[in-house]
Structure 1
Amino acid sequence: MIKSFSALYAGHVLEGEGIGFSGTPHDDRWYSNERLSQAFDIARESAILMDDLGYDILWMAEHHFQREGYECIPNLLILSQYLAQHTKRIKFGCGFNVLPMWHPIRLAEDYAMVDILTKGRVIFGVGRGYHTREVESFGAPLIDADANRELFEEQFEIIMKAFNQESFSHQGKHYTIPPEVPYRGYHLKDVTLVPRPANLPVETWQPIVSGTDRALNFMAKWDIKGIILGTGEEYVDDWVHRYQEANARVGRDLTLGGSLGLGLWCYIDDTREKAEKALEPLFEEHVKFAAPLGMLRYSDEQMDETGPGGASRHIAAGSNFREV
């Protein structure tokens, strides 16, 4: 039985007649700064309503540069602190802080502060990113997937040290903390995160996107919980079983589906016909946005059609959302 219900608001501000396959092409849409800023008002209204209705978590997504209006929240921790002031109980999930675009110490400090200020109402989450426009513009690798994962894994290790150790040091390929410099007449040997989170250990979530052995083993090593979003049944089944197996290899006994969240498309209306009519242009807009990024995963055939090279235009041009 599902006992915990949450919702995701990625920061979209889409409006008007230009939605769907027959609407404005993705790359031609450019909202005003005033409209883009309304993502924060929408988040506040959603959080208040969800708080009143008894939802457990409002998940939000970090993204950058999206003048097209899809994902318009650049800093989850700042927004979560703001939303906590307008609500009583609901928690806010970072889905997800794009780690390669952060300095790990900065993210650790910012999360620790918001954990203290909200009394534990913000859930930590990390991801590797999937927009080249975002990640590469911040000076981090994404096209080189191996370099991206290598950087991500080292950054995450630093954050865990900062959270869990009273003082720490780190020497790796990308970071030396503290640096080998003189300070007040001596050489630094360690540093302390000030402040550290009040609620330890820090519950951490990560999206399962590639489902590779390396990714699942890394999550199991660090006891990272997983979220599966917008993915077809065959992939969900495979990843759920392999996530359980990866945790078993490190001595963690999980029930099937334990420590996992599943994101599903849902639209509620008086009848199925009304719901489908309302949802269809929204789902088409999702396909316009996600397919060229290789982010649609519904079946083997559609996976073959989707990819960063743009082969996904087949789906955007001809697919019926009732079939996916």
Structure 2
Amino acid sequence: MRVVVMAIPYFIGRHENVQFAGSDTGRFQDRMERMIEQIKFAEDLGYYGFSMSEHHMQVEGIEGTTNPIMWDLLVAQHTKKMKVGQLGMNLTAVNPIKLAEDLAMLDQFTKGRTFAGFSRGNTPRWTNTFGQHLNITSTDSDRSEADKRNRAIFYENWRIVKELWTKKTTNVQGEFWKVPYPTEWRFQPTEKFGASAVDENNQLLEIGITPRPYQDPHPPIYAPFSQSMETVRFWAREGGKMVAFVSDEFERFIPIMLDEYQKETEKAGRVFNPDNALGLGGHLTLGRNAAESEDLEKAFRELWGFAYDAPPYHAPVGRIWGGSKQKVQDDIGRLRETYGIEEFFVWHHVGYFPQEVEMAILEEFADAVIKA
């Protein structure tokens, strides 16, 4: 079984009231040191990987996941074998060539310890700001015109990333991007070492990236999932793995999701394996005793109601792994047996609770699940 820590840095601790904590250098340095200590500890406990969401402009200090790729590199430098990745990088309001390069470099720097996660963007403040040059906005999978445009560029950008990862040079002329852009190119090294990239009139035909990924053909692909079956079918065709933090109430959608995934996988000519299709996640609030577990869950629910199940997200809290070791162990065992999966993600705070409490949470879960 594989357990990945989805680490969320918070620059405001519980019960604190601080203005613009996300802009504070001292707090960032503190959370960075806490993160290093906790993830090194997690690797020693047997955790398989590290991941982050992507958010920008969080000056309030709620989440400091500005650049997951740089956090991944930091973690990789302080661990020996832990996988590092994202859930996930925005694949709409970005330059797909730059993103393909950055992830390929991370894969090279870590010598194949990288996995890549992609999302469409659900936060209007930064998605709309980043995507203004293409008129891309955040989306709620509501089939609106904005949603259709967001999905269209998502598909095109993934095609560009995949082509750049799997081919020495490529040409993708899409609705949103021209790769390469029509350009006259006279460069003697191209004439000698890459002549197929230009035509007889010195017009650029193809481009490639340096480097391409360390893994062949590319790092494993992950995608956060809530309810969009169109997203499920797309990643089934492309070989991406869905990750869901749904609650027990919404678990009834999982068999539907797996059925749709299996159909598309087999249409693509591949053998279906549920462990390659789905990973399940939960919020980690397991304390060292019943009273601490109860207090951690109470604090987490308060935070979630304040920052997530509220505008602009309105996100339900999802599964919580707390209470007792036996309860958590039983739930993980049930999910493994029911769905045939072996990879789990734990949403874990760094900086919201005291450091020794957060490290104890990691250890309690490891005792209950990983070591067991």
Counterpart CA distance in 2 for 1:235 and 1:132 is 27
Moved more, 33-42 or 63-72: 33-42
Letter paired with 2:165: F
| Deviation for aligned residue 1:5 | 1.3
| Deviation for aligned residue 1:67 | 2.1
Within 5 Å, give how 1:32-181 maps onto structure 2: 32-34=23-25, 35-36=27-28, 38-138=30-130, 139=132, 140-143=136-139, 144-181=146-183
Within 5 Å, give how 1:8-19 maps onto structure 2: 8-18=6-16
Counterpart CA distance in 2 for 1:53 and 1:6 is 12
Deviation readout 1:242-273 (Å, 9 max, x if unpaired): 32333233233324454311001232223334
Counterpart CA distance in 2 for 1:29 and 1:249 is 53
Distance 1:13 1:239, change over 3 A: farther
Any runs of at least 4 consecutive aligned residues in structure 1 with deviations exceeding 4 A, and if so which?
Answer: none
Distance 1:93 1:130, change over 3 A: same
Q: TM-score, normalised by structure 1?
A: 0.82
> Which residue does 2:296 correspond to in 1?
278
2:225 matches 1:227 = no
Counterpart CA distance in 2 for 1:258 and 1:44 is 29
Distance 1:296 1:240, change over 3 A: farther
Q: Is contact 2:182–2:203 with CA below 8 Å preserved after alignment?
A: yes
Deviation readout 1:157-209 (Å, 9 max, x if unpaired): 00000000121001010011111121117100011111111211221111112
Deviation readout 1:128-154 (Å, 9 max, x if unpaired): 111001100112322521111111110
Deviation readout 1:107-126 (Å, 9 max, x if unpaired): 11111111111111121111
Distance 1:235 1:252, change over 3 A: same
How many equivalent residue pairs? Answer: 288
Counterpart CA distance in 1 for 2:93 and 2:270 is 31
> Which residue does 2:216 correspond to in 1?
200
Q: Is contact 1:39–1:73 with CA below 8 Å preserved after alignment?
A: no
Letter paired with 1:209: S
User: SS in structure 2 opposite 1:269?
Assistant: coil
Q: Is contact 1:240–1:257 with CA below 8 Å preserved after alignment?
A: no
Distance 1:258 1:161, change over 3 A: closer
Distance 1:298 1:59, change over 3 A: closer
> Which residue does 1:4 correspond to in 2?
2
Distance 1:258 1:187, change over 3 A: closer
User: SS in structure 2 opposite 1:120?
Assistant: coil
| Deviation for aligned residue 1:44 | 1.5
> Which residue does 2:204 correspond to in 1?
188
Distance 1:257 1:239, change over 3 A: farther
Letter paired with 2:184: P
| Deviation for aligned residue 1:52 | 1.2
Letter paired with 1:102: V
Counterpart CA distance in 1 for 2:262 and 2:214 is 29
Counterpart CA distance in 2 for 1:102 and 1:93 is 18
Q: Is contact 1:161–1:168 with CA below 8 Å preserved after alignment?
A: yes
Residue of structure 2 aligned with 1:295, choices 300, 304, 315: 315
Distance 1:270 1:42, change over 3 A: closer
Counterpart CA distance in 2 for 1:286 and 1:260 is 24
- Taking only the aligned residue pairs, the percentage that are identical comes to 25
Q: Is contact 2:120–2:150 with CA below 8 Å preserved after alignment?
A: yes
Q: Is contact 2:6–2:50 with CA below 8 Å preserved after alignment?
A: yes
Question: RMSD between aligned alpha carbons?
Answer: 2.2
| Deviation for aligned residue 1:274 | 2.7
Q: TM-score, normalised by structure 2?
A: 0.72
Distance 1:273 1:92, change over 3 A: same
